[in-house]
Amino acid sequence: MLVFMAFALALIPALAIAYPFLTRAGRPLLSDEDTTASEVSARWEAAIAGLRTTELEWAVGNLAEEDREWLRERYMTDAALALREMEVGDAEERALMATVEREMKRVRAQAGDGE
Amino acid sequence: MNSGPSPSHDRGRQSGHAAFRWYARAAAALICLAAACASQDDVPPLEQRAQALNRTIMCPVCPGESLDQSQHVLASQMRAVVDEKLAEGRSDESIREFFVERYGPSVLMEPPGRGATALVWIVPPLGAVAAAAGLFLVLRSMRRAGPAAPNRSPANPLSDRERESYFRRIESAMADPGRDERG
Amino acid sequence: MVEIGQVSLVIAALVAAYAALASFLGAGLRMTDLSTSGRYAAYSLPLLLAAPTVSLVNAFVGRDFSVRYVAENSNLAMPNAYTWVAMYAGNAGSLLFLALVLAVTSAIALRGLSRRMPHTTAYASGILMLALTFFMVIILGFANPLERLPITPADGQGINPLLVHFGMFIHPPVQMTGLVMVSVPFSIAMGAMMAGRGGRDEWVDQGRLWGMITWLVLTVGLMLGAWWAYTILGWGGYWAWDPVENSALMPWLAMTAFVHSIMVQKRRGMFRMWNIVLIITAFTLAQMGMFINRGGPVPSVHSFAQSSMGWLFLSFMTFTLLASLAAFWWRAGTLKSREGLDSILSRESVFLTQNVLFLAVALVTLWGTVFPIFSEAAQDETVTVGAPFFNRVNGPLILTLVVLMGVGPLLPWRRASRANVVNALKYPVAAGVAAAAVLMLLGIGRPVAVTAFSVCAMVVTGILSEWVRGTMSRRRSGEPTPLAFGRLLLRNRPRYGGYVVHLAIVMLAVGAIGSSFYSVQRDMVLRPGDTGNLDGYSFRYLGVEKTFFADRVEEVAELVVYSGGSRLGTMRPFRAFYPDFRIASTRGAIRSTPAEDFYIVPSEFDEDGRAVFRVLVNPLVWWMWASGPLLFVGVVFGLWPQRRPAAETLTARALAQAARA
């Protein structure tokens, strides 16, 4: 009974450990680069949050008009720079994707020729 | 706040009055609470001194507890000694000396400020001064590194046209009706 | 059942070691399969550790004294309810509990992290599993709670009577959970740094989330401990700057600094190095806490889980500290700030000042706690560093922190003009001065306490006046007051959650100031029928009832208490004597109101009918305990996920795409 239970217990981690190797579905190289949050969008979020906070603090009276103008200018510029960078990034990405697609078409076409 | 008829000025004054009204109410309730702190006359002065003294002397057999805290037999005996000596008219310091002679300096809850032990008192203020100086220097150097102009991206600043179009788009994005933080 | 637990412990140790190794290797060599396998192994550990936990609890409930740990920490006389929680009363069982908590929180945290940052997760998993492996090695090699005795005793030795209290159900597990959970935000921060993401701030959200949760658990643990001391240790106080209390306070202080400072990184991309330093400090102090609690070289009243394995904890602490510093050194280049400081007069610099002060309190506390060891080693003179030292040195620092708590939130990010600061502070400062004046008029002296109260008034005014002004501002755009107030709070959750926590801290401070400066105390000898008086209360001692139990003798006193001529009721404080332990445990009877606590506790019952009571009137203590729930609500409110507004996340991409189209 004990031996059986011990086996059953050992089976759980064994399966968990083996699972990623058994289902090698070509996982990508381990990297954080492609995850949703990138540095640019962090900057965008920080700038937008800064704008909101500025408005809130102005509304509750913690902020003088002059300071509010000053802060708005900074945050708007930060946000604009982030936005521009994102657009440029997107454009580059699209160009890259287009290249890849062209390349794949070419390879496929060649393979088709071979058959 | 700024002088001049800015909306924020007006706003600040009105809400200031409301804040004051609320505060007056809260203060009335707090005064009632504060009154709880008021009296200490019931306890005879000698007993107050005894209590204060008991808090500065450790019970030698109960780790980390003062005479005042401990319920050990020895602690209550020592408390009785404190009472006795106070009644004899001895000073706080001489009573502490008495216990130090018996049980060594570790019987005092507060380390003495003499000899090498004074280090325990000297280091914290020195550290605090050093930390304050360090903080000041760090803040100053961060300030220097700080950006001067709003549009800082030296390699490629926003052009006036870009600035206008981006600012407009950001403002329209911010005007999302589902959420306006300032109200 | 016990044997299954034993087997499961061994498997868990092997799996934890594998998980640590696979995660680190996978992360370093960028092998996704390997690191995923390590993480999945981590997921299986809660289950593997649940088995020994269940078998240990089962042994306690079933009074299986053939298990050494059960025999040493319980007996037949123990009430049934306590057998369910007796597992963390001693060293070995509490280690198992720690391991289980670490496994469960690790699994949850890694799961949340893995979707967002796989590479960071691999390192984080390695760090967490390394810590778990350490616990498993100690459990299996040095303190196995499931070890059998060669001969089964008829009865166990029983539990330390001071632990037999409702607080026992909650304080130790919460405190231990808090200490071990510090490793979660630590592993996230270190993981991101090791993966080279320190200069990107994606980890900040998860780090802040887990930092706040850990902070909350630590806070609740500390408050429960204080409450336990207040109700059971029978001296009318709740905090004595005991080494073990200090060792739980230090990581709390560092975590408090961290959860504030992390906001600066989120909002401004600054303090990246500093945050790593803070979390390394917090993690080291948490381990120091475990070391002092378990191998404690300093005498303490908390010697419940004492053991001779302090050196193990000390070695592991040294190892992780050196490893962290090495990793920090290696990656320091990636931790440059995105931006600089716009002005010294800004929220950022208040945050940094606050951080430094919190660390100062932590270091002073550490200094005072370990000084006796150095003193003994260096000059062969034992000294005690007790409460008076800490009050005197930490008092001013803590008061400064409370002042900053009032000033900081009123300062805007980035830059504040002088006029603006004056304007924001005029009402709070006026309120502080007014409060001081009123207290003086009421005849409440003591400059230190009056200053402290006046600072509290300042903070509260700052917070509440902002709430009022915010509500008024929304009301002007047509919302009725309750809706305006609700929306103000709901739409700015982190901000107002923070304010609620600050209010709770002020309540805590008010309770601490009131009870430490204005407490009235007397030790009184009463015979049955006698009446005593203290601070407007009078109490008649009716008599004592003695009851014999298998393990203890209980003497329950009965007193009728009056205040201002009206009868408040009967109070029954008691004293229980445990002959086996030669320990008397007293339970005070407390009548608590927001204004003051009337606290009475017996210290001796003589044969001739005389009884010695300690009677206290502790003003405002109620506020300390009431601050707990408020604080909890504040943290949860601040952390509750807010509906992400389209404008902040999606729109950036959408805008970019719209521009293209």
Band of the pLDDT at B7, cuts 50, 70, 90?
Answer: very low
pLDDT at B180 over 50: no
ipTM: 0.80
Counting Cα atoms < 13 Å in the Cβ hemisphere of C565 gives: 0
Chain A residue numbers touching B152 (CB-CB < 8 A): 77
Listed residue (C119, C131, C121, C130) closest to C29, CA to CA: C119
- Domains defined for chain B, CATH in brackets: 45-113 (1.10.8.640)
How much is the average pLDDT of B149-174? 71
Percent of chain C whose pLDDT exceeds 70: 95
Query: What pLDDT does C82 receive?
Result: 84
In A, which residues are within 8 Å of C32 by CB distance?
20, 27-30
Choose among A52, A60, A83: nearest Cβ to B166.
Answer: A83
Paired residues of C618 in beta bridges: C597
Confidence of residue C300 (pLDDT cuts 50, 70, 90): low
Provide the pLDDT for residue C60. Answer: 92
Nearest to A46 among C37, C269, C416 (CB): C269
pLDDT tens digits, one per residue of C169-198: 788 889 999 999 999 999 999 999 998 887
* Nearest Cβ partner for B182 among A48, A55, A74: A55
| C429 CA: distance to closest CA in chain B (Å) | 13
Kind of pairing, strands C611-619 and C596-605?
antiparallel
Q: Is pLDDT at C540 greater than 90 in this prediction?
A: yes
Cβ pair C371:B111 closer than 8 A: yes
Sign of the C-alpha dihedral computed for residues C468, C471, C472 and C473 taken in this order: positive
Share of chain C above pLDDT 90, in %: 50
Q: Do B36 and C303 lie within an 8 Å CB cutoff?
A: no
pLDDT band at C109 (very low <50, low <70, confident <90, very high): very high
The model's pLDDT over C557-566, given as tens digits with 9 standing for 90+, comes to 999 999 888 8
- How is residue C119 written in tokens? 């590479």
Give CA–CA dist C208/C503, Å, rounded: 21
User: Are residues C473 and B146, on separate chains, in Cβ contact within 8 Å?
Assistant: no
With an 8 Å Cβ cutoff, is B2 touching chain C? yes
Residue C410 DSSP symbol = G
A85 vs B: CB within 8 A: no
- Determine the Cα–Cα distance for residues C465 and C430; give it in Å rounded to an integer: 12
- CA angle at residue C414 from C413 to C420, to 5 degrees? 75
Contacts of residue A31, defined as CB under 8 A and 6 or more positions apart, other chains included, come to: C30, C118, C119
Q: Calculate mean pLDDT across residues C411-437.
A: 87
Closest C-alpha among C583, B150, C445 to residue A71:
B150
Facing residue for C47 by CB, picked from A12, A64, A90: A12
Considering only B146-160, C94-108, C482-496, which range has the smallest mean pLDDT?
A: B146-160
The stretch C116-132 carries a mean pLDDT of 93
Q: Which residues of C touch B135 (CB under 8 A)?
A: 352-353, 356
At residue C62's C-alpha, the angle toward residues C61 and C68, to 5°, is 90
Band (pLDDT 50/70/90 cuts) for residue C101 is: very high
Cβ neighbours for C536, distance < 8 A, ≥ 6 positions apart: B39, C563, C564, C617
pLDDT for B135: 93
What mean pLDDT comes out for the span B10-38?
A: 67
**Would you call B142 and C427 a contact, using CB atoms and an 8 Å cutoff?**
no
Q: Cα distance from C88 to chain B (closest Cα, Å)?
A: 22
A111 touches chain C (CB under 8 A): no
Comparison of pLDDT for A19 and C130, the residue scoring more: C130
Q: Name chain B contacts of A48, Cβ cutoff 8 Å.
A: 170, 173-174
User: CB-based contact (8 Å) between A48 and chain C?
Assistant: yes
Look at residue B179 in the predicted model and tell me its pLDDT: 43
Average pLDDT over residues A23-46: 68
Quickly state the pLDDT bin for B183 (edges 50, 70, 90). very low
Distances (CA, A) of C123 to C76, C214, C237, C287, C589: 47, 20, 44, 20, 52
**Chain C residue with minimum CA distance to B124:** C364
Q: Is A83's CB within 8 Å of B170's CB?
A: yes
Q: Using alpha carbons, select from C140, C135, C107, C122 the residue that is nearest to residue C20.
A: C122
A29 — pLDDT class (breaks 50, 70, 90):
low
pLDDT at C52: 95
CB C401 within 8 A of CB C361: yes
Inspect the interface and report whether the beta carbons of C32 and A30 lie closer than 8 Å: yes
Q: Which of C188, C204, C194 is nearest to C338 (CA)?
A: C204
Q: Buried b vs exposed e over B18-35: b needs ≥16 C-beta within 10 Å?
A: ebbeebeeebeebeebbe
Strand C520-526 relative to strand C574-578: parallel, antiparallel, unpaired? unpaired
Give A62's contacts in chain B (Cβ within 8 Å): none
CA-closest candidate to residue C11, choices B161, B73, B35, A17: A17
Q: Mean pLDDT across the stretch C363-371?
A: 91
Residue B138 has φ and ψ, to the nearest 5°, of: -65, -45
Judged by a CB distance cut-off of 8 A, whether residue B116 touches chain C is: yes
B residues 53-72 closer than 8 Å to C (CB): 55-56, 58, 62-66, 68-71
Rounded Cα distance between B167 and C651, Å, is: 14
Q: In the prediction, which pLDDT does B145 show?
A: 62
Q: Could you count the other beta carbons within 10 Å of the beta carbon of residue B66? A: 23
- Across chain B, what does the average pLDDT equal? 76
- For the segment C483-502, the average pLDDT, to the nearest whole number, is 89
Nearest CA to C614 out of A104, B79, A83 is that of B79
Rounded CA separation C375/B116 (Å)? 8
**In sequence order, what are the beta bridge partners of C537?**
C534, C563
The model's confidence at residue C634, banded by pLDDT at 50, 70 and 90, is very high
pLDDT at C661: 44
Give B-chain residues touching C604 at CB under 8 angstroms. Answer: 76
Chain B residues within 8 A of A84 when measuring between CB atoms: 158, 162, 166
Q: What is the mean pLDDT of chain C?
A: 88
End-to-end CA distance of chain A: 61
Question: Is residue B41's pLDDT more than 60?
Answer: yes
Query: What pLDDT is recorded for position B158?
Result: 74
Residue among B17, B160, B162, B170 with most chain A CBs within 10 A, to mutate: B170
Q: Is the pLDDT of residue A12 over 80?
A: yes
Average pLDDT on C433-449 reads 86
Question: Whole-angstrom Cα distance, residue C625 to residue C223?
Answer: 8
Assign 3-state DSSP to chain C and report helix, strand, coil percentages, each to 5: 65, 10, 25
pLDDT at C490: 86
Question: How many beta-carbon pairs under 8 angstroms link B with C?
Answer: 246
Whether the CB of A60 is below 8 Å from some CB of chain C: the reply is yes
Give the helix ranges, DSSP H, for A23-64.
Answer: 39-60
Contact assignment for B174 to A66 by CB distance below 8 Å: no
DSSP C545-585: EEEE-SS-EEEEEEEEEEETTEEEEEE--EEEEETTTTEEE
Four-CA torsion A48, A52, A53, A59, nearest 10 degrees: 160
Residue A47's pLDDT is what?
Answer: 86
Query: Does residue A48 sit at the B interface (CB-CB below 8 Å)?
Result: yes
CA nearest to A40 within chain C: C200
pLDDT value, residue C647: 46
For C401-425, what is the mean pLDDT?
Answer: 87
pLDDT digits (tens, 9 = 90+) for C279-290: 999 999 999 888
